[in-house]
Structure 1
């Protein structure tokens, strides 16, 4: 009887030990997988904040259709987004149509700060405007001579009513 108790106790202790090791490994592995995801999200929001901060430095800079790429004396919508993103290590094509194919699609309901919003303000089926979504329903962009780089409300605006797509390039 005494040796039976020892064997049962040995099996019980072995079972508890294995269970403890399994749980510890599970927690350790799950925790290590969660950390990089949080770091990626933080890096993304940090990049978005940097892109927006860079763009805000140019508030009021003149609008000029066909502005020279890389110039900061005037911008059109796509030269503005191209310049601001490039300053933050992200290369975009020059035109709004080309930019609308960069990165990955994001639905209007899932917009995050730093996403690019594309509109067809001429209502002719061709994308002709790009803006940077700032979050909280605001856009950072340029579109009109005399106004220059500005912040606009997205909801109910011309850009909302003529919205075509959005892309995440960060």
Structure 2
């Protein structure tokens, strides 16, 4: 009797090993490698990328795509297989195998990212949702095309108009109007037009008044003066989307610049412009003081009016900031310049 039990256990174990081995082989063979494809942003070829195909769906390597799109600050939690990436304005977060991701403060639905040969892959649809772009394969030349910022959205399984509106900082009615929808019924794979950005700008952070960690005991007027002096030390430093603090003071994006400069004087700011916009107290334009943070949207990056840029008010109508076109520099009388007027959102005071 004991011998029969041992035989049964051994047989079960061998069967399990055989099934596991077959599963591993099938998993290894479940994708097709595609020749390196050119990747174009708004019609301009910028790089190459190495797609794979799984069950007829194109997938792209996540970290390679992130860097191409300017999300250069990338962290990875190996225990959960979770990536966080930022371009300095918005943080995106995706977990391998998960169908719910995060972009900024919003949860979004995506195709589950795949973990293959120690590499993360995302479908074109998932990549579109994560990076506020519309990404598709162009069979005529075998390229990956990126429309950025997104003007269209492909509905994901489990989506609703409310979820899509929340993720794109708009309203259900605006989406319905843009697409001539008479009901709230949508279906996976459906392509929706996104409302144009000037129909709304993100003002929610101005209402938030999270406390600022301040380790500097000096009077606020002195702290502001010292921060502005510090900020001017880096005029001419280069710009890099998603720059890390390890790259300071030679390379910055807008929010790593403010984080670095304020941090040198005991005021701890979070990493992205959207997170920094949640701090401090709102300030009207006519009440701006040197050291206040001024926030803008960036229509070149985001189609939904979200916070996309910030600078430090210097007084006399001037702002010092790290811009993608000129690096760290002073924008004189910035609120009389059309671009900054059109994209201005609000100001916050973090030096109290």
Q: TM-score, normalised by structure 2?
A: 0.35
Cα deviation code 1:134-158 (max 9, x no counterpart): 000000001124x210000212222
Partner in structure 1 of residue 273 of structure 2: 96
1:127 aligns with 2:303: no
Q: Find the aligned partners of 2:309 and 2:294 in 1 and give their Cα distance.
A: 8
- Structure 2 unpaired stretches of 5+: 1-217
1:77 aligns with 2:254: yes
CA contact (8 A) 1:69 1:94 kept: no
Partner in structure 2 of residue 165 of structure 1: 346
Q: 1:117 aligns with which of 268, 272, 294?
A: 294
Cα deviation code 1:26-53 (max 9, x no counterpart): xxxxxxxxxxxxxxxx922211110100
3-state DSSP class of the match of 1:50? helix
Q: TM-score, normalised by structure 1?
A: 0.71
Which structure has more RCO (C-alpha within 8 Å, separation ≥ 6)? 1
> How many correspondences in the alignment?
128
Q: 1:108 aligns with which of 271, 285, 292?
A: 285
Q: 2:323 aligns with which of 134, 139, 143?
A: 143
Partner in structure 1 of residue 25 of structure 2: none
Partner in structure 2 of residue 13 of structure 1: none
C-alpha deviation, 1:160, in angstroms: 2.9
3-state DSSP class of the match of 2:304? coil
Larger Cα-atom Rg: 1
- Structure 1 unpaired stretches of 5+: 1-41
Cα deviation code 1:74-133 (max 9, x no counterpart): 000000000000001100011000000111111111100000000012163100001000
Structure 1 or 2: larger strand share?
2
Structure 1 or 2: larger helix share?
1
1:65 aligns with 2:235: no
